[in-house]
Amino acid sequence: MLIKFLLVVAIVIQTVATVYAIRLVRTTKYNSVWILFMIGFTLLSVERVIQLVRASGQELPYEVFIWLGFIISISLSIGVMYAHKLFKYIDRLNRQRQLLNKRILTAVLRTEEKSRSRFSKELHDGLGPLLSSAKMSLSALAGERREEERGEIIANTTYVIDEAIRSLREISNNLSPHVLNDFGLARGVQNFVNKTVAIHPLRIRFTTNLRTERFDTDIEVILYRVICELINNSLKHSGCSQINLSLALRSGVLTLDYSDDGRGFNPQAMLDCGMGLSNIASRINSLNGTFDISSSKDRGMRVGIRVNTQTPPAAKRERR
């Protein structure tokens, strides 16, 4: 009696599973893997019905079980093999999606950098000469005899133009740093560090073994922007008094180690909020590099970045 009850329960459960499997055939777009599994589920239900018939005392040919078991084994085995191919296909699609995301990010960063460079050039070559001409005209007026009040106005105007020219140069350099473009990453970073220390009560210790080495444009620009963003974040949010920055090239791998003695924070929370640090992580990921960060309350922050300079970025591989 117990055997019959268990067989009935098994039949009900497998029948329900078979019904759900049939309903999902259209959802899976009649995938052969799912159809084979559906056939296997259906035949398993039939097998349980036959076992129930035998348990009720009716004899059935033994060959029926053999053929039924054979068909079930074939259906499920082939289904499993196809499922393995399906999983490999899905894994390949995921890798292609990740590569596509990197290409898109690289394209966005390059477009942004081109826009910065174009705007910087227009400021430097367009507005700069106009301000310089205005200053020369005022200087010529200053040489003539003039009333004291008019001379004071000219002097003040000259001062304002000097400040405008200085601001214009700073804006142009921030948009597209000429030192980075002309002399490379090490000089570009050193120039930014010098300007930062000159206007902030902060000590920045910058060490590097780079000299005149040049790298792929994407690597130089992204690492320069990352370093600038890390320093600016420390200035704005950490309350630190010292920053240690190391940039080294070893065996084709460019290593950036950064730390400050600020108040610290929760790195995961900052990465999840989609600001600052997550943007840095995305930029480094576009170079196929690694980005590690650690921080805790009152213990400052540490960042480690590794970029293989011999591995071309995704967009460059695509062009090849």
Q: Specify if 118 maps to a domain.
A: no
* Tens digit of each residue's pLDDT (9 = 90 or more) over 168-213: 666 666 666 777 778 889 988 998 899 889 888 889 999 999 988 8
Look at residue 282 in the predicted model and tell me its pLDDT.
83
Across residues 28-51, what is the average pLDDT?
Answer: 71
Give domain status of residue 116, yes or no: no
The burial class, CB within 10 Å (0-12 / 13-18 / 19+), for 201 is exposed
- Work out the pLDDT band at 277, boundaries 50, 70, 90: confident
> Mean of the pLDDT values across residues 126-150?
62
Q: Do residue 303 and residue 205 come from a single domain?
A: yes
Q: What is the pLDDT of residue 315?
A: 43
Q: What is the CATH number of the domain that holds 203?
A: 3.30.565.10
Q: Report which DSSP code applies to 258.
A: E
- Residue 29 pLDDT class (50, 70, 90 cuts): low
**Domains in the chain: how many in total?**
2
**Coil, helix or strand at residue 196:** helix
pLDDT at 208: 94
* Domain extent for 303: 177-320
For residue 122 the two structure tokens come to 């227009």
Whether residue 98 is found in the same domain as residue 222: no
Q: Are strands 242-250 and 290-295 parallel, antiparallel or unpaired?
A: unpaired
pTM: 0.56
Q: In the chain, what percentage of residues exceed pLDDT 70?
A: 62
Tell me what the mean pLDDT of segment 295-315 comes to: 80
User: Do 193 and 65 belong together in one domain?
Assistant: no
Residue 203 has φ and ψ, to the nearest 5°, of -105, 125
- Let me know if residue 249 belongs to a domain: yes
Task: Evaluate whether 173 touches 182 at the Cβ level (below 8 Å).
Answer: no
CB–CB of 262/240 below 8 Å? yes
Does residue 94 sit in the same domain as residue 194? Answer: no
CA dihedral 235, 237, 241, 242 (to 10 degrees): -70
Instruction: Clarify whether residues 184 and 318 are in a common domain.
Output: yes
- Is-contact 223 188, C-beta < 8 A? no
**80 shares its domain with 182:** no
Residues 195 and 278 in one domain: yes
User: Which has the closest alpha carbon to 11: 52, 63, 54, 39?
Assistant: 52
Could you say which DSSP state residue 200 is in? Answer: S
Which strands make up the sheet holding 301-308, listed edge to edge? 203-208, 242-250, 253-260, 301-308, 290-295
- For residue 306, is pLDDT > 80? yes
Residue 253 lies in a domain: yes
